[in-house]
Structure 1
Amino acid sequence: MGGKSTKFLNVVKQQFICRFNTSTIHWGNEAVLLDGIKTSREILNELKQEIQEWVEGGHRAPSLVAILVGNDPASETYVGKKMDAAQKVGIQSKTERFLDTINEEYLIERVTELNKNPDVDGILVQLPLPPNISEERVVNTVAPNKDVDGFHTENLGKLSKNMNTLVPCTAAAVIEIIKRYKIETFGKNVVVCGRSKNVGLPIASILHSDAKYDLQGMEATVTLCHRNTPPVDLEFYCKNADIIISATGVVGLIKAPMVKPGACVIDVGITRIQDENGRTKIVGDVEFNGVKQKVKYITPVPGGVGPMTVAMLMKNTFKAAKLRAMQ
C-alpha cells in the first residue's frame, strides 16, 4: 500500500478513536447538572395541585409542626425554608420555639401532646438538639405515622424490610433525583460514601432493593464506604462505580482521578468554609470543577440535594395526612 493511502487510513483511524472516546466516555464534556432547585420547584408545584384537589374533595389541609430548640442560625434558616415551602403548597404549618435550657422531659411531653392532636399530621424536630437532650429519645417519641423526617426507629426498620413508610427526606431526595433524571440503576455499580442511619444507610437500602419508594427494580450493586475505609480502597471502589453518592461532610473527598468517566455523582455533603477573602461559602464532598469535566451527571452544592430534601419533607407531610385520613 502506498504512503499516501497509509497516511489517510491512519488519519481516519485517529478520528474514529477520538469520536469513540468522546461519545462513549464523555471525557472533556461538562456534565449535566442535576438541578435540585428546578426539580424541587416542579415537585412543589405538583404537590400544590394535589393538595388543592385534596382540600376541594372535602379534606382539611395537611398540617406540620416544627420544633426548634435554641437559636442556632443554621437551624433557623433550615426551618424557615421548610415553613416557606409548606406555605407555597398549601400545608398549614407553625414553628414551636424553645430555649436551649429546656428540660428534656418537658420537650418529650410537648411532642406527646402533638402526637395526640388529631389536627397535626406531621412533626419534625429540627436537629441538632442541645447536648443535654437525647436526640434519639426525642425523635423516637414522635409518633411513627407523624414522623415526616423518617428518623423513627420503626420507620427505618420498615424501610429495611421493603414496607411502605415515611422515608428519611435526604435519602428520598437522592432517589427522587435519580428517578426524575431517569438515571439507570438496574445492575449498576453504586458507591455510597457515608453510613449514617438517616442518610447513607437508607440510600443504600433503597438502591439495592427490588421494590421500594414507589420504584420497581432499582436493584443496583451497592458498596457502602465510610470513614474507616482506607483511601486506596475508596478510590478502587469509586473508579468502578457507575453512580457515586457521597454524604460524609469531608470536603474534597471525591476527586476527579477517583471517578470513572461517564459516571453520575450525587453530592450530599454540606460544609461551611471560609474562602480566600474570609467569606463563608458552602461546599460539598466533591471537587466539583474537576469532576464535572469527567462525569455525565453531577449535583451542584449548593442547589442540588438540599432543595430536594425540603421538597421531600413536604411530600412526606402530605403522605402522612393521607395515611391519617385512611385510619
Structure 2
Amino acid sequence: MSSAVEAPAAVLIPGKRIAARLSAQVAAEAQAFLHAHGHPPALAVVLAGDDPASGIYVRRKVAECGKAGIRSIGHRLPATVAEADLLALIDDLNRDPAIHGILVQLPLPPHIDASRVLDAIDPRKDVDGFHPVNVGRLSTGTDGLVPCTPLGCMMLLDTVIDDFRGRHAVVIGKSNIVGKPIAMLLLERECTVTVTHIATQGLREIVRGADIVVAAAGAPLLVRGDWIRPGAVVIDVGITRVVDPGSGDRTRIVGDCASAEMAHAAAVTPVPGGVGPMTIACLLANTLRAARAQTRRTAS
C-alpha cells in the first residue's frame, strides 16, 4: 500500500535566536570598547507621556542595553511637556560627548511635532535611523545609520537567501519606519521591488508573484496562505493583540500573515519571536556603531 508523501513544512526563521547571537556579539564588542576608551557606549532614551505600550518597550530596551554593556540614561517627561523643552533636551544630548545615541520613543504626545523632534537629533546619534540625513544616505547607498526593524529584517533574510539579485520582493506598507527603508535595502541587493499600500489595487495577485514578501501593514492576518507562492520567503513585521474567537476575553498576538496557512513557503518568521527581537538587537548594534564613529572622529 502506498503512502502519501507529506510536503516539507516552511522553515521557521528563529528571530529570537539570531537576535541573541547579535546581542552577544555586541556585548563582547562593547566590553572591548570600554577597555579601549574607559567608558561604555551610551544611549539616552527619551519617553514623553504615559503610553503603556511605550513604557513596556522602553523598559525592554533599557534591560537589553544593560545585558549588552551599554549604558542607558533615561529621560522620563510628562505628557504635558512643552515641545520647546523637549527640543532643548535633545540639544543638550546632542552636545554631550558622553552620549553616543539618542532614542525618542514614539508616539509623542499629540501637541508635539514628532518630525521636528526627530529632525533635531544629531544624525551621528540617530540610532533609530529616522533623521533625513540618514534616510538620504540609505537611499543613495552610502554610509549611515539604518532603521532597526528593516535592518533586522535583512539579517533574517540573509539566513535563508544566498543571492537576492533578480528576485521579486513585495513590501506591504509604505511607512517611513519599515516599508520605505526595507524597500531601499532590498533594492541595494538588486531585488526588483514592489511597494504596496492601502490604495493598491489587486494586492493578492501582486503578492502571489513575489519571491520575498515583507508584510508591514499593521493589519492582522491580512496575508492569507493562498497569497503566497510555493517557495517564497515571508517576513512578518506586523504584531497585533486580538481577541481569540470563542474564548471570551482571552487574547493572542498575531502578525500580518496567517502563517499557519503557509507550510508551502520556503521560510517564514514567527509572531511573536521573529522580527521583534531583531529590532532591539539592531538598536544595540547601532548604538555601538555610533559610539565607535564618534570616538574615531574625536581622536582624529
Instruction: Give the alignment's Cα RMSD to 1 decimal.
Output: 1.7
Matched, 1:298 2:268: yes
| Higher-Rg member (1/2) | 1
Give me the whole-angstrom Cα distance separating, in 1, the residues matched to 2:56 and 2:8. 36
Alignment partner, residue 42 of structure 2: 63
Of 150, 168, 179, the match for 2:158: 179
Code of the aligned partner of 1:50: E
Of 256, 281, 287, the match for 2:252: 281
Alignment partner, residue 140 of structure 2: 161
Q: Which deviates further from its counterpart, 317-326 or 177-186?
A: 177-186
Code of the aligned partner of 1:241: A
Code of the aligned partner of 1:199: V
Of 313, 317, 327, the match for 2:283: 313
- Aligned length, in residue pairs: 295
Code of the aligned partner of 1:161: T
Counterparts in 2 of 1:264-279, with a 5 A limit? Answer: 264-275=233-244, 276-279=247-250
Matched, 1:244 2:192: no
Give me the whole-angstrom Cα distance separating, in 2, the residues matched to 1:192 and 1:183. 19
1:155-174 Cα deviation digits (max 9, x unpaired): 10111011100001111110
1:186-213 Cα deviation digits (max 9, x unpaired): 211110101111210010001111xxxx
Give the deviation of 1:182 after TM superposition.
4.0
Give me the whole-angstrom Cα distance separating, in 1, the residues matched to 2:251 and 2:107. 21
Alignment partner, residue 107 of structure 2: 128
Give me the whole-angstrom Cα distance separating, in 1, the residues matched to 2:288 and 2:187. 26
Give the deviation of 1:326 after TM superposition.
1.2
Give the deviation of 1:60 after TM superposition.
2.1
Give me the whole-angstrom Cα distance separating, in 1, the residues matched to 2:59 and 2:259. 28
1:15-63 Cα deviation digits (max 9, x unpaired): 9xx87xx7xxxxx322111111111100011111111122222352100
Q: Is the 8 A contact 2:170 2:207 kept in 1?
A: yes
Give me the whole-angstrom Cα distance separating, in 2, the residues matched to 1:68 and 1:138. 12
Of 231, 235, 240, the match for 1:262: 231
Give me the whole-angstrom Cα distance separating, in 1, the residues matched to 2:76 and 2:228. 44
Alignment partner, residue 143 of structure 1: 122
Point out where structure 2 has 5 or more consecutive residues left out of the alignment.
Answer: none
Alignment partner, residue 12 of structure 2: 33
Give the deviation of 1:254 after TM superposition.
0.7
Q: Is the 8 A contact 2:214 2:234 kept in 1?
A: yes
What's the secondary structure of 1:317's corresponding residue?
helix
Identical counterparts, % of pairs: 40
TM-score normalised by structure 2 residue count = 0.94
1:109-160 Cα deviation digits (max 9, x unpaired): 0111100001000000000011111110111111100000111111101110
What's the secondary structure of 1:57's corresponding residue?
helix
TM-score normalised by structure 1 residue count = 0.87
Runs of 4+ deviating beyond 3 Å: 180-184
Matched, 1:226 2:197: yes
Of 56, 69, 89, the match for 1:77: 56
Matched, 1:113 2:92: yes
Give me the whole-angstrom Cα distance separating, in 1, the residues matched to 2:125 and 2:250. 39
1:252-272 Cα deviation digits (max 9, x unpaired): 111011100111100001112
1:203-242 Cα deviation digits (max 9, x unpaired): 0001111xxxxxxxx2111111111112xx2112211111
Code of the aligned partner of 2:280: V
Q: Is the 8 A contact 2:102 2:121 kept in 1?
A: yes
Code of the aligned partner of 1:43: L
Code of the aligned partner of 2:131: H
Matched, 1:235 2:204: yes
Code of the aligned partner of 1:95: G
Code of the aligned partner of 1:321: A
Q: Is the 8 A contact 2:178 2:216 kept in 1?
A: yes
1:246-301 Cα deviation digits (max 9, x unpaired): 0000111110111001111000011122223312322110012112x121100011
Point out where structure 1 has 5 or more consecutive residues left out of the alignment.
Answer: 1-10, 23-27, 210-217
Give me the whole-angstrom Cα distance separating, in 2, the residues matched to 1:169 and 1:98. 24
Give me the whole-angstrom Cα distance separating, in 2, the residues matched to 1:298 and 1:282. 16
Q: Is the 8 A contact 2:33 2:41 kept in 1?
A: no
